[in-house]
Amino acid sequence: MFKSIFEYREKQKPLQHIEEPVLEYIIKFINPFQSQTRILDTSTIFNIETINEPIENFINLRKLNYITDLNGLLYTVNEKLFMDGYFVGCVELYQQRKARIYSRFPSPIAFPVYIIDFVLNRMFPKLYLTQNIRIKKLRSTNRALSKTEIFGRLYASGFDVIDFKNINCLTYFVARKRDKAKKVEEYKYGILYKMKRIGKKGKVINVYKIRTMNPYSEYLQNYVYDKYNLKEGGKFKNDFRITPWGKLLRKYWLDELPMILNLIKGDLKLVGVRPLSKQYFDLYDEDLKNLRYKHKPGLIPPYYADLPNTIEEIIESEKKYLLAYEKKKFKTDITYLFKALKNILFKNARSS
């Protein structure tokens, strides 16, 4: 049952089972010839559990698309690695899968083949009623996965993604163990979801929105900020986590309609600073954090009244609003509401 491509302690020979471009890529980051490196081609957790002692590096040549319990496998790999150990793996992203299908079939045939594949291998695994049917009845585990989902699972499991590269129509990645193994529950898919945000007095509240990002995107906020920083308006640059249809929903605030439930519950008020995630909240200085703690966040932020461009301008805009609100609550909210509506209706101010 244990399928090993190469056990270094027993056979000192070239890594003939790894394609040359892949081997060249791996060698840039780790030494695959050392004794504490293990190379497998496996989709089962059992094969990894049979590694008895901690190892420096682990390389899995099997596409992650074929792994049923992906979070369980990442947890097990993390357990077997020393701290700062490396995990190298590969995955076929759904864009690469689409390109493969269209290169294999003529366009009139490729389109229906891609749609069927999309339904069976991307939609079915996400839906509660069909995810088990797909595995048990169809016997298919070749899931279509996004970059966001793979990287998000890695970060949630205690890894940092060091690098990735497209080689022979597959995405190879190098991840480093930064934390102890974490058990991550399988993502619950659905159109409506809850985001944890910082509310009044620092209380964590659940803010409802329509899903516009790929699964596990919340684990990648620090990664996206470190790699791409912020663009004008305080949003992340090159945010690959957003789906194409999600961009359309965000443009017209359709994704924020469920936040009306938060308004009814009393977690939010109509006008107020935007409810922020902890990662984004930590970018603010202590003065603004303490000021924010005193008040409820809102559905319509001062951003749409002042239209700031940089994170520094956003901070100043929020400080100005909160200080004015503390002096004259009703007048301040009415003033900001009308300014925001004017900019939205006549200056085409939009979310992104």
The pLDDT assigned to 7 comes to 41
Has residue 33 been placed in a domain?
yes
Do residues 16 and 72 share a domain? Answer: yes
Residues 54 and 105 in one domain: no
351 is a domain residue: no
Q: Is 219 found in the same domain as 158?
A: no
- 62 vs 120: which has the higher pLDDT: 62
Q: Are residues 28 and 81 in the same domain?
A: yes
Long-range CB pairs of 223-227 (<8 Å, 24+ gap) are 223/151, 223/155, 223/160, 223/161, 225/279
Q: What is the pLDDT of residue 107?
A: 87
- With a cut of 50, say whether residue 231 has pLDDT above it: yes
pLDDT score at 120: 80
What is residue 157's predicted lDDT score, i.e. its pLDDT? Answer: 95
**Distance of alpha carbon 213 from alpha carbon 222, whole angstroms:** 16
In this structure, the answer to whether residues 243 and 270 fall within a common structural domain is yes
For the residues 164-185, what does the mean pLDDT come to?
93
Which whole number is the average pLDDT over 33-55? 89
Greater confidence (122 vs 285) lies with: 285
- Nearest-angstrom CA–CA distance, 303 and 308: 6
pLDDT at 139 over 50: no
Residue 187 domain-assigned?
no
In a domain, 186, yes or no: no
Q: pLDDT: is 62 or 13 the higher one? A: 62
Q: Give the per-residue pLDDT at 204.
A: 94
Residues 21 and 149 in one domain: yes
- Do 150 and 265 lie in a common domain? no
Res. 141 pLDDT band, cuts 50 70 90: low
The pTM for the full model equals: 0.77
* Nearest-angstrom CA–CA distance, 300 and 349: 12
Containing structural domain, residue 165: 4-93+145-177
Residues above pLDDT 90, as percent of the chain: 53
Q: Check which CATH number belongs to the domain holding 34 and give it.
A: 3.40.50.150
Residues 200 and 337 in one domain: yes
What rounded mean pLDDT belongs to the chain? 85
Same domain assignment for residues 11 and 122: no
The predicted pLDDT at position 348 comes to 72
For 14, 185, 202, 213, 297, the CA distances from 276, given in Å and listed in that order, are 52, 24, 11, 16, 9
11 residue type, one letter: K
pLDDT at 338 over 70: yes
* Domain membership flag for residue 222: yes
pLDDT at 8 over 50: no
C-alpha distances in angstroms, 40 versus 6, 296, 322?
Answer: 7, 52, 57
Taking 50 as the threshold, does the pLDDT of residue 3 lie above it? no
- Higher model confidence: residue 139 or residue 113? 113
Residues 209 and 198 in one domain: yes
Has residue 138 got a pLDDT over 60?
no
Task: Mark whether 103 and 12 lie in a shared domain.
Answer: no
Q: Give me 74's structure tokens.
A: 């990442």
- 352 within some domain: no
Report pLDDT for 223: 86
pLDDT at 211: 87
More confidently predicted of 134 and 42: 42
The answer to the question of residue 182 being in a domain is no
- Paired tokens of 346: 């006549």
User: Are 251 and 286 in the same domain?
Assistant: yes
Mean pLDDT of 271-275: 95
pLDDT surpasses 50 at 5: no
pLDDT band for 33, please (50, 70, 90 cuts): confident
Q: What is the pLDDT of residue 133?
A: 59
What total of structural domains would you count in the chain?
3
Q: What is residue 9's predicted lDDT score, i.e. its pLDDT?
A: 35
Q: What is the pLDDT of residue 132?
A: 60
More confidently predicted of 133 and 218: 218
